[in-house]
Amino acid sequence: MTPSLKLALIHFNIQHKEAARNRENLLSLVAEAASNGAELVAAPEMSISGYTFDSRKDILPHVESQSGPTLTALAEAARTFGIYVCIGMAEIDSHTRILYNSAFALDPEGRIRCRYRKINAEGRWASPGDPKQDNTFETPWGRVGMLICSDSYHALMPRVTALRGANLLLVLANWPPIGLNPREIWRARALENGYYVAGCNRTGTDLTMDCREAPSFACDAFGNPLLDKTVPDSGVLYLQLPLDDAGRLDGKTREACMADRRIAYYRDCCLNLKWTEDMTDFLKLPSPGALNVYCVAPHEKEHPVDALARHLDTAPHARNGLYLLPAHFYPDAKLESLSTIAAERQIHIAVRNSDDPDHTCHLFDLAGKARRFPLPSWPFDGDDGFQQVDVGPARLLFTPFAAMHHPEPAIAAAKLGCDIAISLEDHFTPEDRLLAGVRTIENLAMVVCAKNDAGIWFPPEGHQRWEETAASPGEVGCYVLDTHKTRRKRFQDLIDFEKLLEPNGVISITSPEIEKRPLNTPS
């Protein structure tokens, strides 16, 4: 029989401001999970107090220190059943009296193995945690990482967790079923980091949230769903994670993902743009405005140039618009045709010649003149990096989409002022489509144009999902890119940049010594 780790997610109906009742119910569910063979049990964010509070004064009666009744009782349960227990709760630091939205991991001896304090802390009462805090802990099955709810929304926190050696990411959440779908975020985090992801969500209603349809979700290191469930009241959700012959979670996929990184191309991730109100002037970007962007997806066996000509003959088009064609073989005759089309129609055209060893991009201007630059396959081995080009009111980034399997290039490009990242590909997968949408969270639009599929994605407003325009084979997708909007960028910079950008940052942990901490000792 293949060895496995039995993981239990407590999908918990948290009662607002009813700590004693929540604690009693939670302990009962932990016991139920253990009796059913669970070895690692997780409970959601803010499991004891409920989530919504107006002020420090409002939540103060409902916070606990590490030596409080909840962790004391859970430590006893962990010892009794011989299990690991993870919980999210409102914490008060017994020394400073600072309040945090925290997560704790207890081992089978009842000792705290990890304390993680949420970075995207609630502004009305909580302090953000230290970005350099270690959010991982070692188990017999491998290293496990913890994040709290919206900390998984920002890609660099899950990435640093992978660099710390985690092969399983637990996300303790209060994520209501509105706006962004957490399933998409958590799948993307698995795909880009090569580890298991399990999101332990809540159910029931809070003071301002209805979470009765909120999902708990888990997927493997390739984004394949393992669990996707909602329940109207408290329940325990189980899943089996396969282990190797040594009884460990797969770490090879994560290590391969980390080895694919090229940090020389995204050290700009750590630029501080916090005080930059006008990115146009500060970075000397083109004056903002509207740019019509078109993705041409040809029919099967139709040359992209012929598909473009067919579209221009049958559909209206905008002068000065940018037309993107997929990677393909573009002989000299086809390139000459594109030059003529660009000049006659007064449009910009970009293509990528896949028959060229350098995968040369040709960007035709309104006069039909082509700017040529190589766009080698990822990972880059030489000195050539990402190509930034200004077209009309937009700064463009041309990049192979394989580079965008990682979050850092998108963030670095956004901090350099890019409005839109463009990938001209031969083929595009459903997983690529998901990652393209998620990359827009990093403050830039995305375009992928391939022979089998094409799409344009625009950054989300607030906590809503990104905008998406698709083009199937034989179609042309169009989006009006307003660079007034893409210049308004906000970055989550509470990141352990030293870990993110350290040389040879791939971590392989096989048999570490486990530090054991008393219950009342900070991790």
Residues 246-269: pLDDT tens digits?
999 999 999 999 999 998 888 999
CA 180 to chain centroid: 12
What b/e readout covers 472-500, taking b as 16+ CB neighbours within 10 angstroms?
Answer: eeebbbbbebbbeebbebebbbbbbbebb
What is residue 358's predicted lDDT score, i.e. its pLDDT?
Answer: 81
Residue 446: CB atoms within 10 A of its CB come to: 27
Strands (E), 43-179: 84-92, 99-106, 112-117, 136-139, 142-148, 168-172
- Give the three-state DSSP class for 8: strand
Helix (H) / strand (E) element for 455: namely strand 454-458
pLDDT of residue 187: 98
Does the pTM surpass 0.85? The reply is yes
**What pLDDT is stored for residue 515 in this prediction?**
33
Question: Alpha helix locations (H) across 237-356?
Answer: 252-259, 279-282, 304-314, 332-345
d(Cα 321, Cα 319) in Å, to the nearest integer? 5
- 335 vs 345: CA distance, rounded Å: 15
| Residue 420 one-letter amino acid | I
**Rg, the chain, Cα only:** 25
SS3 263: helix
Q: How far apart are CA 32 and CA 23, in angstroms?
A: 14
Strand partners, 457: 446, 468
Backbone torsion region of residue 59, taken as left when φ is above 0, otherwise alpha when ψ lies between -120 and 50, otherwise beta: alpha
Distances from the Cα of 395 to the Cαs of 285, 418, 420, 451, 508, in angstroms?
Answer: 7, 5, 7, 25, 39
| Distance from C-alpha of 26 to C-alpha of 401, rounded to nearest angstrom | 44
pLDDT of residue 264: 86
CA atoms within 13 A on the CB side of 30: 31
Residue 128 backbone dihedrals phi, psi, to 5 degrees: -70, 150
Asked if residues 317 and 294 have their Cβ atoms less than 8 Å apart, the reply is yes
Q: What is the largest CA-CA distance in the chain?
A: 79
Q: Determine the Cα–Cα distance for residues 389 and 318; give it in Å rounded to an integer.
A: 20
Q: How far apart are CA 448 and CA 471, in angstroms?
A: 10
Q: Could you tell me whether strands 387-391 and 394-398 are parallel, antiparallel, or unpaired per DSSP bridges?
A: antiparallel
> According to the model, what pLDDT value does residue 385 have?
63
With beta carbons less than 8 A apart as the criterion, state whether 174 and 48 touch: no
**For position 316, what pLDDT does the model report?**
77
Q: Where are the alpha helices (DSSP H) in 36-93?
A: 56-59, 69-81
3-class secondary structure per residue, 457-479: EECCCCCCCCEEEEECCCCEEEE
Residues 6+ apart with CB under 8 A from 40: 5, 6, 7, 8, 83, 84, 86, 139, 141, 144
Find, among 489, 484, 356, 478, the residue nearest to 414 by Cα: 489
- Tell me what percent of the residues of the chain surpass a pLDDT of 70: 95
Over the stretch 392-429, which tens digit does the pLDDT of each residue have? 999 999 999 999 999 999 999 999 999 999 999 999 99
Sequence-ordered alpha helix ranges (H) in 10-97: 19-35, 56-59, 69-81
Rounded Cα–Cα distance for residues 203 and 472 (Å) = 38
- Tokens (6 digits) for 390: 């200004």
pLDDT for res 511? 34
Q: Report residues of the chain scoring pLDDT below 70.
A: 1, 381-385, 504-523
CA distances to 245, 360, 404 from 135, rounded to whole Å, are 27, 43, 25
**DSSP H or E run through 328:** none
For residues 94 and 75, give the distance between their C-alpha atoms in angstroms, rounded to a whole number. 19
CB 342 within 8 A of CB 363: no
